[in-house]
Structure 1
Amino acid sequence: MLPVVQAFRGAALLPCSTATALPCYPVTAPVGSAMMAASRKFAVRLAAALFLVLARYGYGASARLDAAQTRVLQDCEAAWSREDIVPFACLTLSVECDQSETNIISLSFPSMYLTGPLPPSIGTLTALTSLDLSGNGYLRGPIPSNFSRLSRLQVLDLSLNKLNGSLDAVKAMTSLRDLKLNGNNFKAILPPSFSTLTALTYIDLSYNKFITGHASQLLHLTHVKVLGLRGCSLTGIFPERIGQLTKLQTLSLSNLNGSLPTSLSRLVNLQDLSLTENFFTGSLPESLTILSNLERLKLRTSQLLGTLPSSLGSLTKLTHL
């Protein structure tokens, strides 16, 4: 994979192995005319950074990116602005091409406090393997339907934004390995939404209150290592056969009832177990102490009864309780 961009700091062009770094801004929010000036500065810096990409790869007789891919970067520049009320420091974006330098395979614009919709033209980047727009906080609207064309996408991180709508486009991303949509307002029923995504090993949909489903239907996700569904609207009792998800390393569930099954002890790879905000009955099973790799156990407001088993002391890797 070849990086497309160079670092941009002031007027200097510096080699950069993975990203374009935009200048640092004060961490205190600007006020009045200063706020407007900061917004204009950001717009100029973002445009300048994307211009470096276009100047090197997208314009002229020697252009390697075709017009459609060049247009995607132009659409991003046109669609997004910065949310003025949010202070921020250093910003980093990156765009990467394949070995031939003719196809964009990675777009990364994380934590830049961008506001606006997702440009549908991103769906034309059919060679794209990674898309990271996480932590912007103000990207809004649905995932465009033509994102379903991103069949090579392996990493999709749209977490911590204001996105909404269905996950229909995600269902067609059959190469998807990591899916991070936590902290949005998406609407979906689990697990049918992901029945075709057999490569998924990382799912974090936490804090999407319109994502629903019955907890027992999660049991087919036997290949998943990280499953985050805290703050969703799941229903039902804690799955009795949760132990069949033996690859799990991180599990976070809320809004469930019933008792904790002894089959939890089969999750021998589990490192992080979060069961806060549930409506459980009974006590914490002694069998949990078999989980020798457990590092974090969160039980706040889980409604469990009784005292913690003294045998928890045998979990030598446990650092957070």
Structure 2
Amino acid sequence: MKLAPGFFSGVKGATFECIERERQALLKFKEDLIDDSGLLSTWGSEEEKRDCCKWRGVGCNNRTGHVTHLDLSGFNLSIIGSFSALSLVNSSESLAIVDFSDNQLTSSIFYWLANFGNSLVDLNLSNNHLQGSIPDAFTNMTSLRTLDLSNNQLQGDLSSFGRMCNLNVLNISENNLTGELPQLFQDWHGCVESSLQILQLNGNQLKGSLLDITRFTSMRELVISNNRLDGNVSESIGSLSQLEKLHVGGNSLQGVMSEAHFSNLSKLTVLDLSGNSLALKFESNWAPSFQLIHILLSSCDLGPCFPQWLRNQNNLMKLHISNTRISDTIPNWFWNLSNSNLKYLNLSHNKMSGILPDFSSKYSNILEIDLSSNQFEGPLPLFSSNIASTLFLSYNKFSGPASFLCNIESNTFIVLDLSNNLLTGWIPDCVMNFRSLGVLNLASNNFSGKIPSSIGLMRHLQTLSLHNNSFVGELPLSLRNCSSLVFLDLSSNKLQGEIPGWIGERMPSLKILSLQSNGFSGSIPPNLCHLSNIRILDLSLNNISGVIPKCLNNLTSMVQKTESEYFPANNAVLSTPYMPLYKRDGGEIPEEITGLLLLLALNLSGNNLTGEIPLKIGQLKQLESLDLSGNQLSGVIPLTMVFLNFLAFLDLSNNHLSGRIPTSTQLQSFNAWCRCKGMGGGLTEWLDEKMKEEWEVITELSRERD
């Protein structure tokens, strides 16, 4: 919040120090606060601190010395007193602006607010711990123009705001408001109808439809996204001639919106209808009167033809029309729009087709391009050398080599996803240019050759997926330089050699490691036991021999819960500890594995294992999938398996076991998968689905970081 000019007594030409009784009141107020960070250290009774107008967060009128502004935002303050002293600060009714946002204040502050009359103009209590009903005290603040109560846990009736005749801005977003939105608007029958310019109610639980709101003649910004609204959008919204921003995304609105809904919205710059079931149907020759900066229409119905009304939108910075049922080629005029301001382009999850043009002279300032999940074909397009920081081209039909990468010189390239296309050839060495790259996904293409050693120069890489290609040879030693890796999937290739021990030594952050379906040989290196953060470990379908290291019970992320399940900004949320391990030399199941208490899946099939199933198998209470098929296990199936309440996949076939499956497990449910009589098989489908889920979250978080 910015201070109005002249509010500080410290401003050049000021002649008044602060009023003594107001200084004393502020000191008393300080006693009622917990200030662990010492941000109020400038407040004191010492002689050099006598002028309270020079205190941090205090602003005064430089002609009268009265405190007019109190800004303690972000001080992390909490209350231990009553706030009663602050009523003395306002004894002259000069306090106009109060900003207590981003603290730990509770609803007790409302008792202090009751002492204020009509002096306050701007009040910000956002991002605190306010709970319960919104008090009527605000109605006494007849001069209030801006009120921000966002990001709290408030609830209750809002009808009293209808009597606040000077209120211009009301923000109660991200609270626990309930009730019917039409009833709320009907209750606001007072003078607030003509004064209110910005209304933000997003992130609550308001219900109802968006009907007649024509009474709000001064409305410039209406934000009611992420509620529980349904029904149709009234055409009357088109009469709000002052409206600049309309955010109603993330609801369940439905029906058709036509030109009539936008008839008089010539000032509109932001349109967010995303996440609804709305159909936008306009005449092909419709030319809207507005020039939009942000268009967010994801999940609406714009198809099947590419929307012609975009043709005259020349100020776009963000265009998101993903999943909008467009099954058309993109017209040339779209690529030729004035696009110097465009920063975010998302056309994903449609059925757009055709060959993309040369982008080398377009979109010079763009930050994100997402054309994934369409039917584009032909070679990958050329991009300008300083292309976006994130580029999603996955799930299309692009073919040919990835040589376009050598045209990119961006130092801020963060995410590159070319997965699930028809790309061929080697990975070019020019990938070394992407020193800032955090996510590289080339999975499910037809790449071949060796993994280039230059990949080790991408030291910021956190996610690398080369799954389902035809890479050969050993893992390059330089890969150990990618010590920030969290997600490493090299499965379904033709890689050979021993699994390098440096994976466990040099990649301490690794949470997913999949080397499945390659030609790795030798034993499992004990160094992998150093991967204390691992959640998915898949070494299956290789030529691994030797014994399973007993130190695997050191994998603490499978033993104890961590404080956070979240990766850094452009990575995944993980909750699936998984361990398919294949070896060929027999031996017994190491009892240490039963100490991995958070394990969700265990696959030891086809390993010629002998002995009995450990009795402590019942400790793995989170286990969803267990495959011990194709071994030489004997003895009785442990009764402790009765504790595996989440087990949905069990394969004990092709062994010498006796006894019955415990009857109280999840396997009694209709969707469980149990193979216990010789059918054989594994968990490939289960793992593929898990890995797909993890990658989808990676992709989503990569988008959200922008």
Q: CA deviation at 1:20?
A: 5.3
The alignment status of 1:156 with 2:298, answered yes or no, reads no
Equivalents in 2 of 1:204, 1:265: separation in Å? 20
The alignment status of 1:232 with 2:374, answered yes or no, reads yes
Residue number among 323, 326, 334 corresponding to 1:193 in the alignment: 334
Q: CA deviation at 1:169?
A: 0.6
- What's the TM-score, normalizing by structure 2? 0.34
Q: 1:317 to 1:280 in 2, by over 3 A?
A: same
What does residue 215 of structure 1 align with?
356
Cα distance per residue 1:96-151 (max 9 Å; x no partner): xxxxx971111101211222222432253111111111122x22243566873254
Residue number among 155, 177, 181 corresponding to 1:46 in the alignment: 181
Q: CA deviation at 1:275?
A: 0.3
Higher relative contact order (CA 8 A, sep 6+): 1
AA aligned to 2:299 is L
The alignment status of 1:303 with 2:446, answered yes or no, reads yes
Residue number among 462, 473, 483 corresponding to 1:319 in the alignment: 462
The alignment status of 1:135 with 2:278, answered yes or no, reads no
Is residue 216–residue 238 contact of structure 1 (8 Å, CA) maintained in 2?
no
User: What's the Cα RMSD here?
Assistant: 3.8
Is residue 241–residue 264 contact of structure 2 (8 Å, CA) maintained in 1?
no
Q: 1:148 to 1:10 in 2, by over 3 A?
A: farther
The alignment status of 1:91 with 2:230, answered yes or no, reads no
Cα distance per residue 1:225-244 (max 9 Å; x no partner): 221111222221113x33x2
Equivalents in 1 of 2:346, 2:181: separation in Å? 29
Q: 1:9 to 1:317 in 2, by over 3 A?
A: same
What does residue 211 of structure 2 align with?
77
Q: 1:18 to 1:11 in 2, by over 3 A?
A: closer
Q: CA deviation at 1:264?
A: 4.3
What runs of 5+ residues in structure 1 fail to find an aligned partner? 26-40, 66-74, 79-88, 94-100
Q: 1:246 to 1:103 in 2, by over 3 A?
A: same
Cα distance per residue 1:259-313 (max 9 Å; x no partner): 0115244233311111012111102112112111211111121222234323323
**Secondary structure at 1:263 match in 2:** helix
Cα distance per residue 1:196-242 (max 9 Å; x no partner): 23232211101110x23322344442323221111222221113x33
Equivalents in 1 of 2:184, 2:355: separation in Å? 46
| Match runs of 1:10-29 below 5 Å | 10-12=156-158, 17-18=170-171
Q: CA deviation at 1:251?
A: 1.2
Residue number among 391, 400, 410 corresponding to 1:267 in the alignment: 410
**Secondary structure at 2:287 match in 1:** helix
Equivalents in 1 of 2:357, 2:331: separation in Å? 10
Is residue 190–residue 213 contact of structure 1 (8 Å, CA) maintained in 2?
no
**Secondary structure at 1:117 match in 2:** strand
What runs of 5+ residues in structure 2 fail to find an aligned partner? 1-144, 162-166, 199-208, 213-224, 230-239, 465-706
Of 181-190 and 279-288, the range deviating more from structure 2: 181-190
Report how many aligned residue pairs link the two structures.
270
**Secondary structure at 1:306 match in 2:** strand
What does residue 317 of structure 2 align with?
177
Cα distance per residue 1:68-109 (max 9 Å; x no partner): xxxxxxx9537xxxxxxxxxx96289xxxxxxx971111101
Equivalents in 2 of 1:191, 1:52: separation in Å? 50
Q: 1:126 to 1:285 in 2, by over 3 A?
A: same
Q: 1:236 to 1:18 in 2, by over 3 A?
A: farther
Equivalents in 2 of 1:123, 1:289: separation in Å? 52
Equivalents in 2 of 1:273, 1:318: separation in Å? 11
Is residue 228–residue 252 contact of structure 2 (8 Å, CA) maintained in 1?
no
Equivalents in 2 of 1:103, 1:5: separation in Å? 22
Of 298-307 and 277-286, the range deviating more from structure 2: 298-307
AA aligned to 2:437 is L
**Secondary structure at 1:139 match in 2:** strand
**Secondary structure at 2:181 match in 1:** helix
**Secondary structure at 2:463 match in 1:** coil
Q: 1:149 to 1:308 in 2, by over 3 A?
A: same
Q: 1:218 to 1:119 in 2, by over 3 A?
A: same
Equivalents in 2 of 1:281, 1:49: separation in Å? 59
Q: 1:141 to 1:23 in 2, by over 3 A?
A: same
Equivalents in 2 of 1:249, 1:317: separation in Å? 14
Residue number among 430, 455, 473 corresponding to 1:287 in the alignment: 430
**Secondary structure at 1:131 match in 2:** strand
What does residue 113 of structure 1 align with?
252
Q: CA deviation at 1:17?
A: 4.9
The structure number with the bigger radius of gyration is 2
Cα distance per residue 1:38-67 (max 9 Å; x no partner): xxx7xxx232355578866656xx8999xx
Q: 1:156 to 1:54 in 2, by over 3 A?
A: farther
Equivalents in 1 of 2:196, 2:409: separation in Å? 55
Q: 1:11 to 1:298 in 2, by over 3 A?
A: same
AA aligned to 1:109 is V
Q: 1:279 to 1:4 in 2, by over 3 A?
A: farther
Is residue 58–residue 64 contact of structure 1 (8 Å, CA) maintained in 2?
no
Is residue 311–residue 333 contact of structure 2 (8 Å, CA) maintained in 1?
no
Is residue 21–residue 90 contact of structure 1 (8 Å, CA) maintained in 2?
no
Is residue 222–residue 245 contact of structure 1 (8 Å, CA) maintained in 2?
no
- What's the TM-score, normalizing by structure 1? 0.70
What does residue 276 of structure 1 align with?
419
Q: 1:107 to 1:263 in 2, by over 3 A?
A: same
Cα distance per residue 1:133-179 (max 9 Å; x no partner): 1122x222435668732543100000123332432111111111110
What does residue 42 of structure 2 align with?
none
Equivalents in 2 of 1:260, 1:118: separation in Å? 42
Q: 1:300 to 1:24 in 2, by over 3 A?
A: farther
Is residue 151–residue 174 contact of structure 1 (8 Å, CA) maintained in 2?
no
